[in-house]
C-alpha cells in the first residue's frame, strides 16, 4: 500500500507551535503554515527529530540498518528470520507476536478509536491495534526503528497506520486527538529525553503531554516494572544495566550509576504508590493496577494488583507438576505461598510483583 498523508493530516501539527502542516508538499517536506518551520520526509517517513538518535536492545545502529535494507528488499519477516531469530530468539518472538497486545481486553476498545503508540519500537503493538482500530500513529524517536515500522506496515497492507519519526517531548501531533495512548516499556526511559532536568519532573511533564494528546475520556495504558519487584531483590539488572539501583534511595542510585557508568540515574521506576502519585499529578484519574506474568511484554497471566487469591491461583499454575518434577526451591515456593493468608499475600504482592499494567483515564465525557 501507499501510505496517504491526507488521511492523517488532522492528527498532525507542528511540534514547535502546534500550527497546521501545509498539505500538498508531501512527499518531500512538511511546512508549518504558522511558523514556517520545515520538516523533512525521508523515504516516505515524516521526520521531526534527530536522525542520529538510536535506541536498541541487543542490536546496534549498523545492524539495524542492515536489517532495514534486508526488510525493504526481501520482506520484514525474512529480515527478522535471518538477522534476529538465530541470535535472539525471544526478541524475534517479541517483534512478531500479537499476543503482546492481549492487555487490550482490559479496555472498552472500539473499532472507531484512534490510537497513539509512543515509543513504538519494532511496531508490534501498533500493527496489532491497526488490525482493530480506525487509525494508529506509531511515534518513535529512533529513525531506523521508524523505518522498520514503515516497511512492515507497507508490506502488510495496513494503510491506517502512520509511522512518525518524532519524540514525545515535541510531538508532531494535534491535542485531544487520541482515544488511547500506549506507553509500553517507555515511561522508564523518558528521563533521558532531557538529561539536564530532574528525572521525575521530565517524566511528569511528558505524561502531561500524553494527557493533552488524549481526548476527554481517553485512556492511557502503561506497561512497566515495579520498582521494588522481587526480581530486583534477587539481583536482576535494572535499566541502568546495574543491579539493585531501583531499590536504592535516589541519591545513592545516582552516585552508584555515576561511578559505574559516568552519568546520573535516569531510568526511574516506582512502586504502585509512586506511579499513582505521578499519574495524579499529570491529571489522570480512575487508575487501575494489574500484576502481570511473566512480564508486561509477554502478558499471559494478569490480575488486579493486591488480590491474594489470584496470586494463589497463579502459583497453582506456575508450580503445577512438571514432567520432570518440581525442583526443591519450587516445592518450597509452593509451600510458602500456600501458608501465607490471602490478605497478606495481596499486600506483599503489591510491592513485590515485578511487572505492572497500569490503566488511567483523562477525565471528561468521551465522544458519543
Ligand atoms: C523498550 S522499547 C519499547 C518498544 C515498544 N513500545 C514495544 O513494547 O514493543 C522503548 C522505545 O521507546 C523509544 N523512545 C524512547 N524515548 C522516546 C521518546 N521520548 N519519544 C518517542 N519514543 C521514545 C525508543 O526508541 C524505543 O524504541
Query: Which residue minimizes the CA distance to atom 1 of ligand 1?
Result: 185
Q: What is the pLDDT of residue 280?
A: 98
| Three cell numbers, residue 215 | 481526548
For ligand 1, say whether the CB of 101 is within 6 Å of any of its atoms: no
Q: What is the pLDDT of residue 329?
A: 82
Q: How far is the CA of 88 from the centre of ligand 1 (A)?
A: 19
Give the span between the Cα atoms of 138 and 45, in whole angstroms.
11
Give the span between the Cα atoms of 280 and 342, in whole angstroms.
29
Q: What is the pLDDT of residue 326?
A: 79
Q: What is the pLDDT of residue 25?
A: 56
- The strand ranges marked E within 141-284 are 161-165, 178-184, 214-225
Q: What is the pLDDT of residue 26?
A: 55
Mean pLDDT, consecutive 10-residue segments, the chain of 368 residues? 72 94 70 91 92 88 97 98 96 95 95 97 97 97 97 96 97 97 98 96 98 98 97 96 98 98 97 98 98 94 95 88 77 88 94 97 84
Q: How far is the CA of 316 from the centre of ligand 1 (A)?
A: 35
Nearest atom in ligand 1 to the alpha carbon of residue 122 is: 9
Q: What is the pLDDT of residue 347?
A: 95
For ligand 1, say whether the CB of 186 is within 6 Å of any of its atoms: yes
Mutate to test the pocket of ligand 1, among 56, 119, 120, 130 (most ligand atoms within 8 A of CB): 119
DSSP label at 2?
Answer: P
For ligand 1, say whether the CB of 13 is within 6 Å of any of its atoms: no
Q: What is the pTM of this model?
A: 0.95
How does DSSP assign 214-247, residue by residue?
A: EEEEEEEEEEEEBTT-HHHHTT-B-TTSSBSGGG
| Three cell numbers, residue 10 | 488532522
User: Do the strands 29-31 and 45-46 form a parallel or antiparallel pair, or are they unpaired?
Assistant: unpaired
Q: Which residue shows C-alpha cell 543491579?
A: 243
How many of the other CB atoms lie within 10 Å of CB of 32?
Answer: 20
Q: How far is the CA of 185 from the centre of ligand 1 (A)?
A: 7
Query: Is the alpha carbon torsion for 63, 69, 71, 74 positive or negative?
Result: negative
Residues 6+ apart with CB under 8 A from 114: 11, 133, 134, 135, 136, 137, 177, 178, 179
For ligand 1, say whether the CB of 120 is within 6 Å of any of its atoms: yes
Amino acid at each position: 500500500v501507499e501510505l496517504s498523508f491526507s488521511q492523517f493530516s488532522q492528527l498532525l501539527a507542528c511540534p514547535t507551535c502546534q500550527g497546521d502542516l501545509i498539505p500538498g508538499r508531501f512527499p518531500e517536506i512538511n511546512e508549518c503554515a504558522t511558523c514556517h518551520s520545515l520538516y523533512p520526509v525521508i523515504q516516505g517517513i515524516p521526520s521531526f527529530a534527530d536522525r542520529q538518535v538510536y535506541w536498541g536492545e541487543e542490536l546496534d545502529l549498523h545492524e539495524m540498518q542492515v536489517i532495514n535494507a534486508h526488510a525493504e528488499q526481501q520482506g520484514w519477516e525474512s529480515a527478522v528470520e535471518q538477522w534476529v531469530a538465530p541470535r535472539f530468539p525471544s526478541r524475534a518472538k517479541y517483534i512478531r507476536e500479537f499476543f503482546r497486545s492481549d492487555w487490550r481486553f482490559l479496555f472498552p476498545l472500539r473499532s472507531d478509536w484512534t490510537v497513539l503508540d509512543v515509543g513504538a519500537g519494532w511496531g508490534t503493538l501498533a500493527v496489532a491495534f491497526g488490525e482493530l482500530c480506525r487509525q494508529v500513529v506509531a511515534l518513535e524517536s529512533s529513525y531506523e526503528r521508524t523505518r522498520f515500522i514503515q516497511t512492515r506496515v507497507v508490506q502488510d497492507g495496513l494503510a491506517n497506520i502512520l509511522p512518525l519519526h518524532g519524540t514525545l517531548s515535541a510531538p508532531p501531533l494535534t491535542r485531544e486527538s487520541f482515544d488511547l495512548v500506549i506507553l509500553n516499556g517507555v515511561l522508564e526511559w523518558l528521563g533521558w529525553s532531557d538529561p539536564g532536568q530532574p528525572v521525575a519532573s521530565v517524566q511528569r511533564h511528558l505524561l502531561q503531554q500524553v494527557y493533552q494528546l488524549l481526548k476527554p475520556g481517553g485512556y492511557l495504558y502503561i506497561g512497566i516494572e515495579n520498582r521494588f519487584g522481587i526480581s530486583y531483590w534477587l539481583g536482576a539488572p535494572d535499566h541502568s544495566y546495574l543491579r539493585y539501583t531501583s531499590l536504592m534511595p535516589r541519591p545513592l542510585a545516582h552516585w552508584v550509576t555515576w561511578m559505574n557508568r559516568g552519568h546520573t540515574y535516569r531510568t526511574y521506576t516506582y512502586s504502585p504508590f509512586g506511579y499513582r502519585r505521578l499519574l495524579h499529578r499529570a491529571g489522570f484519574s480512575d487508575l487501575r493496577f494489574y500484576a502481570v506474568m511473566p512480564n508486561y511484554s509477554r502478558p499471559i497471566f494478569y490480575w488486579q494488583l493486591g488480590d491474594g487469591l489470584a496470586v494463589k491461583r497463579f502459583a497453582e499454575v506456575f508450580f503445577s507438576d512438571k514432567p520432570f518434577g518440581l525442583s526443591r526451591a519450587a516445592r518450597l515456593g509452593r509451600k510458602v505461598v500456600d501458608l501465607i493468608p490471602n490478605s497478606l499475600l495481596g499486600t506483599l504482592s503489591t510491592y513485590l510483583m515485578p511487572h505492572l499494567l497500569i490503566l488511567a483515564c483523562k477525565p471528561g465525557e468521551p465522544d458519543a
